[in-house]
Amino acid sequence: MKHSILSALLYLLSSLSILAVEIPKEHIFVFERNTNTNYICYDIHLENGSLYQKEPLTAYWVLCEGQKTEGLTFLDRKMAFGVKVIKAEKDEALVYLTAYKDLNIRICKYKGKWVGIVKLHGHEMILQKMYAQMKQSIYPRCEYVEIHGTDITTGEKRCERITP
């Protein structure tokens, strides 16, 4: 009896660890840096089919070239990669990343799919990736951030560079 309970418990725990590292196929956007291959994923956070207004995006690290995931640390959330909600409703939210308050991201459905929309230089685009070029030193410094996405009006791929 003890053996079967222990076996069942070990099976359950191993199943949970497999689920913990499964990476969703679709993200709202990802954030990459030149410092290593780890990146941050931002996924939609729904509750009963609607945006979870307190936290419309879930952010987490993807490590070891996609082999495992890990939550953001306290410093990650507060200083760089955390998401701050400006306004949230059932089907739309306006957020920004803690590292760059001047870039608002509108989370909404576009053509039936959840997306993040940003407006840069007069163009609205569906955000797919942010890339930070970091300068390594005692105190790492961001030289620039590239915003990659698709122009909503033309459908063309766009890349805009911003300097913090």
* Locus of tokens 């936290």: 55
* pLDDT, position 25: 53
Q: Report the run of H or E that residue 90 belongs to, with start and end.
A: none
Q: Which pTM value belongs to this model?
A: 0.80
The set of residues, in sequence order, having a beta carbon less than 8 Å from that of 64 and lying 6+ positions away, is: 37, 38
Residue-level pLDDT, tens digit, the chain, 164 residues: 443 433 333 333 333 333 333 444 568 999 999 988 999 999 999 888 888 999 999 999 999 777 889 999 999 999 889 999 999 888 999 999 998 899 999 999 999 999 999 999 899 999 999 999 999 888 888 999 999 999 999 999 999 999 87
Ordered by start, the domain boundaries in the chain are: 24-162
Nearest partner of 100 among 38, 34, 33, 162, judged by Cα: 162
